[in-house]
Amino acid sequence: MKEGAKIGMRRVSEEVVQVMISSADTGSHGPSYAAFGISYNTWRKIREGQLIRQSVANRLEQRVLSRIGVVN
């Protein structure tokens, strides 16, 4: 099965990834992934453009977009 065809898996939107990266503390290598409710391993996968569980991606996108006022 091709990577892109895995059922229940998807990539996080580039818009959300950029918001997460831009929220990084100046002294760190990335955002406070704990603040977004994800593990370091999930953050690493997101940053590298890998697939994550669709349910995690959906919750994360909603959480990040609501934080910046795009979604209520």
CB 55 within 8 A of CB 65: no
CB 10 within 8 A of CB 57: yes
pLDDT at 26: 45
Domain ranges of the chain: 3-67
On whether the pTM is more than 0.85, the answer is no
CB 52 within 8 A of CB 12: yes
Q: Residue 36 has which token pair?
A: 């977004």
Q: Residue 41 has which token pair?
A: 């391993």
Q: List, for the chain, all residue ranges whose pLDDT scores fall below the cut of 50.
A: 1, 26-27
